[in-house]
Amino acid sequence: MQTPRTSVPATHPWLLFSTSRRWGMLAALFLVSTVSNVDRQIMAVAIEPIKAEFQATDTQMGLLTGVAFALFYATLGLPIARLADRGNRKKIIAISITFWSLMTAICGVAQNFTQMFLARLAVGGGEAGALPTSQSLIADYFPPSTRGRALGIFIMAAVAGYAVALIGGTHIASEYGWRPMFISFGLSSLSIVVVVHLVLREPRKMIQRPLDHHERESLKPSLGALYSKPSFNWQVAGGVFFGIVSYGALIFILSHLVRSFNMPLARAGTVYGMISTVTAIAGAIIGGYCTDRLGRRGAANIPLLTGWLLLGALPFYLAALLTDSLLIFTIGSTIGGSLMFSAGPPLFAGIHIVCGSRRRATAIAMLYFMMNSIGLGGGPVLTGVISDSFGHLYGSAMGLRIAMVIAFTALLPGGFCFLVAARTMAADTEQ
């Protein structure tokens, strides 16, 4: 049983924990994010075999990978996040894992497009309670001076999960089929619930104090307070464009390797899984270090860093997509991916700076709501529609290549949104 400690101020909950304890809890949240992203991204692995079995189009597969997941993820994320800003975040995460894991397993028994669509809706609804709640806990576990590195490691789990889905998922799908892949990943994710119960702690249960007015306010005034800050709005807008690429265009990267380079699915998963691993590690190190270092010199440096990283990633990704050389693809996507995913830590750190300590989960959920409803909801569908349109004229491989190039140009307006956000960061900062 946790004993309340009134000597620790509610605004500094990280003082409750030793350094080793903080990093141990971060490791548990890393696992949560990893399995979340594995169960989310295995659909990218299954695009080609599901498309063949269900006789679907790229547009329909875009609906499965995008809208089906994003609809409930986006709409349920905000009310769950408001609950997380007032309730027990540890329990919310445990319940979320249990639900989405079971729904992922159910995807493996879907018999048609409609059943798969409904199952993916449920997966998205389950995952809505995990990432905003986890980031809210991280902000309570770590002081601002080391929060960038902590967020960098946490964000690295997204790409780590993607790599596990690509490498493990493609081999399971190739050997046993896509249905056992969904079932095995879904059921194995349930084990993380035990880790959550044993390792995580809820700081609010350890600090005896009444709810403040921020925690009592309903969702509408909480969102109103966030919307009143220009830097928050610009960063969310930039996050949407980031999401179109990271949640949308990248969904089809395996299909691009299969179609344009004639790779077997398992080899394509291994190749891009290794690239994803490198970009995840580089992104966590570069993004986290630069966020902490530049953040000490002023809040405006955080969105400036995000913006320039996104702009710098674009030419490398375009070079990777426009080449017929696997070597150039590998180099371009590795450098581009390292830069783009380095933008993750300053992106989320910038939101934490302006949202205040009692609106963290709500602010992150709002960011995810926009990134997922537009980026994940629209990105894959847009990519699929463009691919089908050009595919009728130039063939399936070239159609997808053109679609991905168009989708990746979203990094350009996304980068500029963060540069504009920097102008009011200092004025919008809230403890």
Per domain, the residue ranges of the chain are: 16-202, 221-430
- Cα 325 to Cα 217, 257, 258, 312, 382: the distances in Å are 56, 11, 14, 22, 26
Pick from 317, 13, 252: which is nearest to 142 by CA? 13
User: Distance (Å, rounded) from C-alpha 186 to C-alpha 202?
Assistant: 26
Specify the 3-state DSSP secondary structure of 144. helix
pTM: 0.75
If one counts every other C-beta atom within 10 angstroms of the C-beta of residue 256, the result is: 23
356-372: b (≥16 Cβ within 10 Å) or e: bbbbbbbbbbbbbbbbb
- Pair of tokens at residue 201: 């702690």
- Phi-psi map region of 395: left, alpha, beta (phi>0 left; psi -120 to 50 alpha): left
- Tell me if 16-202 shares its fold with 221-430: yes
Q: What's the pLDDT score for residue 215?
A: 53
**pLDDT digit of tens for each residue in the chain (431 aa)?**
455 555 655 567 777 888 899 999 999 999 999 999 898 888 878 888 898 899 888 888 878 877 788 778 878 888 888 888 778 899 999 999 999 999 999 999 999 999 999 999 999 999 988 888 998 898 889 888 888 888 888 888 887 887 788 788 888 988 899 999 999 999 999 999 999 999 998 887 766 655 555 555 677 788 888 889 999 999 999 999 998 898 778 878 888 999 999 998 888 888 888 898 888 888 888 888 898 888 888 889 999 999 999 999 999 999 999 999 999 999 999 999 999 989 988 998 899 888 876 787 788 888 888 887 788 777 888 888 889 999 888 888 999 999 999 999 999 999 999 999 999 998 888 76
Please report, as a single letter, which amino acid is at residue 357: S
- Phi-psi map region of 103: left, alpha, beta (phi>0 left; psi -120 to 50 alpha): alpha
Q: Looking at domain 16-202, what is its CATH homologous superfamily?
A: MFS general substrate transporter like domains (1.20.1250.20)
Q: Identify the CATH class of 221-430.
A: mainly alpha
Give the DSSP letter of residue 423: G
Pick from 308, 323, 321, 315: which is nearest to 400 by CA? 321
- Cα 67 to Cα 41, 74, 144, 346, 361: the distances in Å are 14, 10, 35, 27, 23
